[in-house]
Structure 1
Amino acid sequence: MEICAGAGGQALGLEKAGFEHKLAIELDENAAGTLQHNRPQWDVRIGDVASSVVWNPADFEGVGLLAGGVPCPPFSIAGRQLGASDERDLFAWAVEQVAVVKPRALLLENVRGLSQPRFAAYRQRVLDRLADLGYEAFWKLLHSSDFGVPQLRPRFVLVALKPDDARFFAWPEGSDSTRTVGSALGNLMAANGWPHTGDWVKMANAIGPTIVGGSKKHGGADLGPTRAKEAWLKLGVDGKGIVEDPPSAFAPHPSVKAPRLTIDMVKRIQGWEEIDDWRFLGRKTSQYRQIGNAFPPPVAAAVGRSIVAAFNRELAADGTERASGAVSADPLFSLLSASDGGGVRESEIFAAIPEITEKSLGGRLERLSMDFAIHEAVVDGEAVYHLGEFRGFTGQTEHFRHDYILANRSRVS
């Protein structure tokens, strides 16, 4: 079963890996419509995945895989990186569903930002919670270009399995051959008889920047911010918009006027192939957003096959080594977590973590306080710090996320 399923990038990849969908849940109506159109046999539900009106997690206890691509903005380097303080954060909530669904495996993917030091404590809480629930977790930054996708698109992927399966898990190996934008799109660019396709393919002989889907609030049908557009232009692509049709037989040479991409071309760059016959519903901007926010099917398929291989105890058949368990360390979080309830004195922090100074302590505490409440007291004239509750949404009936969703339902994506 899949939460925050989007328009089906992860779903299609997992299907190719051998999984059958019992349920797919998506908030955006156009994306859910795309899922229903392409897989009418699936149970697709539209709405807030955290709403009991939409589904009851207990009804799906024991599924083989709980998967999802939960919202990225809380961790995005391009955003404010509010983490647990962001109303859109569903990562911790998704992990919490493991306690009810009890899947054989968990798969969650997100942006590279989640792998940064800013979120070391957040990641440690995820690992600790999964360990409490009896799962061993694995985390790795995967680059989509290693799996035949002609763009960078790094994704931070979490896989968690029960111990009997975990000892057989190995991350998928990427391909030695790199697929370029030109080699992927050449036949699509030539579809209307453009005579300069060959020259364009040579110009586009590299991996493209990450496709940016944007959100309902920010981002339209173009190829991202200024820096991304500049990178696309070096590949002979005008990134200022998406067009309906490929260049005509009378279109100028790409050195004179670079062509723009069509929706079919963006699909190809995101990993959908013609054989997939996957149609996106909605207007052009919505279609582009659905594609741009997707987990590339080839990457999802590769990770899915690794999970299936673990289920089937196939490790070491080709000499592959099992993956190492995930590790995340924020020494300040660890120190505060280990406190016996009396808190940690400022002097104890400096003694235990030499890299933290009087000058840097405030910033470290402020960063940690985005995800956890930090309580400060003064004892014998010295500051004492206590680690409080996790700020993230894990299903609480009283949480600031509920008011946000209620007020912004039509704009959330």
Structure 2
Amino acid sequence: MSKLTSVEICAGAGGQALGLHRAGFEHALAVELDPTAAETLRLNSKGRVEVGDVADPTVWSPADYEGVDLFAGGVPCPPFSLAGKQLGSSDERDLFAWAIEQVAVIQPRALLLENVRGLAAARFSGYRQRVLDRLTQLGYVADWRLIQASDFGLAQLRPRFVLVAMKPEDAAYFRWPEPRETHITVGEALRDLMGANGWKHVDEWAALANRVGPTIVGGSKKHGGADLGPTRAKAAWAALGVDGKGVADEAPGPDAPPPSVKLPRLTVEMVARLQGWREEDDWQFAGRKTSQYRQIGNAFPPPVAEAVGRAIRDALEHKGVPHEIPELSADVHDPVYRALASADGYVSIERLIEALNEFGEASVERRLAVLAQDFELDVRTTSKGTAYRLGEFKGFTGQEDHSRHAYFEAHRNKVS
């Protein structure tokens, strides 16, 4: 199988890289901020790996990779996470808009970016609209899809919001991968590993762990250690017979008590299995236990990356029957943003109400308040009423004078 080339940013421990490799992509470059995760990439990859802030021009030059087949990445999740403050463009860690701007430089045949499901929330409808409109300007057809890892052979839910974009001639052949009809349980996925040291109660445990597990939470340098997440997540794991308050060094021994007396903890190897790493991958993780757990827990699961990667590869190779694609600017996530962005000047509240059809002034004002979190918004009140004009996007797109630079320098060791 001939290889297609890819460049991956925010590559982490290589979950997406491994999945894309299985799908037939060869990495020309992987860029990662965390030195330990970058070492993991080097231990397992033959491609070039660069360490540092992906937006730092001294780390790599996007222009050097013009025309690559696939530009991919898992840009930071905290700006959109439901578990955080959902600051979006106001979060200095946000790199989504910056990544979109690199499409103009690299001009890849395809784009793949993944993030948490929080990005699909109404809070970010304007942000998503800006992403789609910018890709339209660059000549790409883009589509978002919420994908559950459990639909692709993993024993955890792990919903991810995935963006794929291609030029029209290739987009006509792209189809999202179909989910599997059956799901695997935590007990089925981990029974052999949990019983590896001869634990005589492993079958009792596997019977308890008879459902798909909650999402593995990797945590960050700033928050979270080597455990399975916040209180609610730990409770969900306890219902499956797992003590989520930490990560074990090894599986229970032959004399370990039954799960009814003491719940076992997962090992790093078990967490990797839940994330979709296979024994035959022979993947080595650098660093100590906590670092390894974070690398694995924050990864894009290899089987999901493989499924989407194969769909992208098939489209780039024009396999199957082409289908009609929508007009480049047809997809509307936020009609208020679209009305403001397409206007030359101020837009009256009446016109914005029309853009929302049956919704009233209160609905428009709520939308405007949300937009103001990510965009400058000018308001003008006259005798004829109130009108609005969309100003500058607050997010980082590569500006030399953006506040992100100062934040990054001051908090480099805590950014993840």
Q: State the TM bucket, normalised to the shorter chain.
A: over 0.9
- In the alignment, structure 1 residue 339 sits paired with structure 2 residue 343: yes
Instruction: Please give the residue correspondences for 1:301-320 in structure 2 after superposition, counting only pairs within 5 Å.
Output: 301-316=306-321
Residue 32 of structure 1: aligned partner = 38
Aligned match of 1:222: 227
Mapping of residues 282-293 of structure 1, within 5 Å? 282-293=287-298
Cα gap change, 1:61 to 1:352, in 2 (>3 Å): closer
Kindly provide the amino acid, as one letter, of the partner of residue 311 in structure 2: S
**Residues 12-27 of structure 1: pairs in structure 2 closer than 5 A:** 12-27=18-33
**In structure 2, do the counterparts of structure 1 residues 360 and 131 end up closer, same or farther at CA, with 3 Å as the change threshold?**
closer
Q: Does 1:365 align with 2:394?
A: no
Unpaired segments ≥5 residues, structure 1: none
State the AA in 1 paired with 2:413: S
Q: Which residue pairs with 1:376 in the alignment?
A: 379
Is residue 206 of structure 1 aligned with residue 205 of structure 2?
A: no
| Structure 2 alignment gaps of length 5 or more | 1-6
**Structure-1 separation of matches of 2:331 and 2:356:** 18
CA distance in 2, matches of 1:303, 1:350: 38
After TM superposition, give the deviation of residue 359 of structure 1 in Å. Answer: 4.2
Separation in structure 2 between the aligned mates of residue 172 and residue 321 of structure 1, nearest angstrom = 15
Q: Does 1:353 align with 2:356?
A: yes
Q: How far apart in 2 are the matches of 1:224 and 1:298? A: 22
Worse-superposed segment, 382-391 or 5-14: 382-391
Match of 2:414 in 1: 411
Secondary structure of the structure 2 residue equivalent to 1:243: coil
Query: Would you say the 8 A contact 2:152–2:180 is kept in 1?
Result: yes
Contact 1:169 1:322 in 2 (8 A): no
Contact 2:356-2:364 within 8 A present in 1 as well: no
Give the alignment partner of residue 242 of structure 1, picking from 225, 243, 247: 247
Deviation at 1:327, TM superposition (A): 2.6
User: In structure 2, what residue type is equivalent to 1:6?
Assistant: G
1:140: which partner in 2? 145
Deviation at 1:355, TM superposition (A): 5.3
Corresponding residue of 1:172? 177
CA distance in 2: counterparts of 1:238 and 1:323, whole angstroms: 48
Paired position in structure 2 for 1:55: 60
1:9 and 2:12 are equivalent in the alignment: no
Q: Deviations for 1:304-327, whole angstroms, at most 9, x for unmatched residues?
A: 0001111121124xxx97887883
Amino acid at match of 2:54: V
Structure 2 residue 386 is matched with structure 1 residue 394: no
Give the aligned residue type for 1:36: R
1:103 paired to 2:103? no
Call closer, same or farther: CA 1:322–1:69 in 2, change over 3 Å. Answer: farther
Contact 1:170–1:322 (Cα < 8 Å) also in 2: no
Moved more, 255-264 or 357-366: 357-366
Query: Aligned-pair distance for 1:386?
Result: 0.7
1:221-265: CA deviation from partner (whole Å, max 9, x where unpaired): 000011111110111000000010100100011111110000000
User: Which residue of 2 is the match for residue 83 of structure 1?
Assistant: 88
Distance 2:381 2:323 in 1: 51
How big is the shift at 1:362? 4.0
Distance in 2 of aligned mates of 1:260 and 1:24: 33
Distance 1:185 1:93, change over 3 A: same
- How far apart in 2 are the matches of 1:352 and 1:17? 42
Superposed CA RMSD in Å reads 1.7
Q: In the alignment, does 2:197 pair up with 1:192? A: yes
**In 1, distance between residues paired with 2:413 and 2:385?**
49
Measure the CA separation in 2 of the matches of 1:163 and 1:62: 16
User: Helix, strand or coil for the counterpart of 2:144?
Assistant: strand
Residue type at the aligned position of 1:150: A
Return closer, same or farther for 1:216/1:375 CA change in 2, 3 Å cut-off.
same
Instruction: Say which SS state the counterpart of residue 43 (structure 2) adopts.
Output: helix
**1:103-145, Cα deviation, whole Å (9 max, x unpaired):** 1111000010111111111111111111111111121111000
Q: Quote how far apart the aligned CAs of 1:345 are.
A: 2.2
Letter in 2 for 1:286: S
C-alpha change, 1:321 and 1:190, in structure 2 (3 Å) is farther
Amino acid at match of 2:406: D
The TM-score with structure 2 as length reference comes to 0.95
8 Å Cα contact 1:4/1:26 also seen in 2: yes
Return 78-87 or 290-299, whichever deviates more.
78-87
What SS does the corresponding residue of 1:315 show, helix, strand or coil? coil
CA distance in 1, matches of 2:353, 2:313: 46
CA contact (8 A) 2:79 2:87 kept: yes
Once residues 144 and 113 of structure 1 are traced to their aligned partners in structure 2, the CA distance between those partners, rounded to angstroms, is 16
Residue deviations 1:66-105, cap 9 Å, x none? 0000001111111111111111110111111011111111
- Cα offsets for 1:146-170 (capped at 9, x unmatched): 1001100000111111111110000
Check conservation: 1:120, 1:328, Cα contact below 8 A. Answer: no
2:4 equivalent in structure 1:
none
Measured in 2, the distance between the counterparts of 1:321 and 1:335 equals 29
8 Å Cα contact 2:225-2:290 kept in structure 1: yes
The AA in structure 1 aligned to 2:337 is: F
Q: Aligned residues, how many?
A: 408
Is 1:295 aligned to residue 328 of structure 2?
no
Is this contact kept in 2: 1:165–1:311, CA < 8 A? yes
The residue type equivalent to 1:133 in the other structure is L
Contact 2:187 2:208 survives alignment (8 Å): yes
SS of equivalent to 1:137: strand
